[in-house]
Amino acid sequence: MIERVEILGVKVDAVTMAQAVERVASLIAADKPSMVATANAEMLLRATHDDELKNILNAANLVVPDGAGTVWAAHHLGKFMPERVAGFDLVQELMKIAPAKSWKFFLFGAAPGIADKAKLKAESLYPGIKIVGTRNGYFTAADEPTIIEQIKSSRPDVLLAALGVPKQEKWLSAHMNELSVPVSIGVGGTFDVMAGVVKRAPLWMQRAKLEWLFRALLQPSRAGRLIALPKFVFKVHKQKISC
Ligand code: UDP
């Protein structure tokens, strides 16, 4: 039985990468629409003042601890959280075994052309993988019926939505039943990294739990978002002393 640790009102699954992959595999086998979320500190902080996001996360079939902040928070609260399960890494692990399992993916999101580049990258890294469709993440309400039809008719097993937080979670939650895709995952900037537009932090920085700093340095437009980290630490500490 995998425990769920409540962090700022959101229940996060205490899973290892291997357990997360196993859970996704069983959700695909169950063949009912399900959602997987990748919770980092910024998302958990946002959920404290966005009830819609909080409810979506608490209704998700799997919430993985994406980010050093989420793992730190669980430990600070005295709970078990085995390791960080980054959304990007989860996608790579799923794609690695996808050819053997015949899983089909649809890549939805990011700027025009990026999902196509991510598809090419996946096809070169994971020979035999089936990416049955792509669609960029910039659209109006009038485009949505076409997007929904495109996803539905390509019948993927896994829908990866890279629209940013909380847009991807809200969009998936609103449409997952209609889409009837077994597993939908909000994956943030994953396609940008796969396409080579945005770099992942070097391993030593990931290990030193400094990936957030690398991202802020590389994309100064994100630097303002850094304020979320001390706020997150403060709120988690408040949760700890109030229980
Ligand atoms: N994006 C999108 N549609 C939008 C807004 C954003 O497709 O309306 C994409 C954006 O191009 C980027 C991803 O969503 O590829 C968000 O990446 P980010 O690293 O900001 O993810 P987050 O930190 O929000 O998970």
The residue extents of the domains of the chain are 4-242
DSSP string, 151-218: HHHH--SEEEEES-TTHHHHHHHHHHHHHT-SEEEE-TTHHHHHTTSSPPPPHHHHHTT-HHHHHHHH
Is the predicted pLDDT of residue 173 greater than 80, yes or no?
yes
pLDDT value of position 218:
84
Question: What integer is the mean pLDDT of 80-88?
Answer: 97
Q: Is 80 exceeded by the pLDDT of residue 243?
A: no
Calculate mean pLDDT across residues 186-204: 94
Q: Which pLDDT does position 219 carry in this prediction?
A: 83
Residue type, 134: T
For 54-83, the pLDDT digits (tens) are 999 999 999 999 999 999 999 999 999 999
Closest C-alpha to ligand 1, atom 20:
164
Query: How far away, in angstroms, is 164 Cα from ligand 1 center?
Result: 4
Closest to 91 (Cα-Cα) out of 111, 105, 108:
105
Task: Give the Cα separation of 62 and 183 in Å (integer).
Answer: 10
Q: Give me the pLDDT at residue 87, please.
A: 97
Query: Could you tell me the distance, in angstroms and rounded to a whole number, from the CA of residue 76 to the centre of ligand 1?
Result: 29
Strands of the chain (E only): list them: 4-7, 10-13, 34-39, 62-65, 104-109, 130-135, 158-162, 183-186
pLDDT at 153: 97
- Residue 91 has a pLDDT of 98
Which pLDDT belongs to residue 199?
87
Mean pLDDT in residue range 215-227: 82
C-alpha of residue 191 to centroid of ligand 1, in Å: 9
What residues does ligand 1 touch, defined as CB less than 6 Å away? Answer: 109-111, 137-138, 162-165, 167, 188-189, 191-192
Q: What confidence category does residue 127 fall into, taking pLDDT thresholds of 50, 70 and 90?
A: very high
pLDDT digits (tens, 9 = 90+) for 110-122: 999 999 999 999 9
Mean pLDDT of the chain: 96
